[in-house]
Chains A and B, each alone.
Chain A
Amino acid sequence: EADIYQTPRYLVIGTGKKITLECSQTMGHDKMYWYQQDPGMELHLIHYSYGVNSTEKGDLSSESTVSRIRTEHFPLTLESARPSHTSQYLCASSEFRDPPYEQYFGPGTRLTVT
């Protein structure tokens, strides 16, 4: 069973607020990811990291930022939330190896910006 956690599960916040979505995993995985999932179900990779102090932008441009100071922790921050940021955010982790192994997903954070 995967051990990857996201908090909060649900967040309703006003425009202009700064928010941080937390993600942590206890599997010692070097690789971590953030996905944005729109109401149409499609998943978009917005950030990933392959180790401490590494962060990379994903396929979808995002105004959010991430940090990776500890292996197990990969928080995502929005400096000034806007209604366009309303979405489901999924965090995932995997071993960083070749061939690639499966990603383990957290339960997600559903963000609503009013």
Chain B
Amino acid sequence: AQKVTQAQTEISVVEKEDVTLDCVYETRDTTYYLFWYKQPPSGELVFLIRRNSFDEQNEISGRYSWNFQKSTSSFNFTITASQVVDSAVYFCALSVRANYGGSQGNLIFGKGTKLSVKP
């Protein structure tokens, strides 16, 4: 069975603080894909990053960085120098190779972490 755990339900920080959102996943598949999405108050989910199981390189995009560690089954997301506009719910998600074609690409989402950045 596959599962994504985001243990932090809510995090509150003050602007300019760094913050790390944790994501731990479970799967027996050797080929899988991990995603992060952001859901601002407007409601739609916005894609942030996709990482496949064979690529453990960390990634940095501006103030955002991701740390993928297969040894601990974690794919953590760090925001450096947080800003008020970063306030949102962040979801980590997992996709595995399906046994049949139709469900290919289906995502298993964590429960989300609500980040509040105060000025």
Contact = CB atoms under 8 A, between A and B. Distances in A.
Interface of A: 31, 33, 40-43, 45, 48, 50, 54, 56, 58, 88, 90, 92, 94, 96-108, 110
A102 B50 contact: yes
Given A94-B105, A96-B105, A108 B112 contact: no
Contacts of B102: 48, 50, 54, 56
Interface residues of B, number: 26
Given A40-B111, A56-B102, 7 more contacts: A41-B111, A50-B101, A90-B43, A94-B105, A100-B33, A100-B104, A105-B46
Q: Is the interface of A mostly helix, strand, loop or mixed?
A: loop
Given A42-B112, A100-B95, A106 B105 contact: no
B109 interface: yes
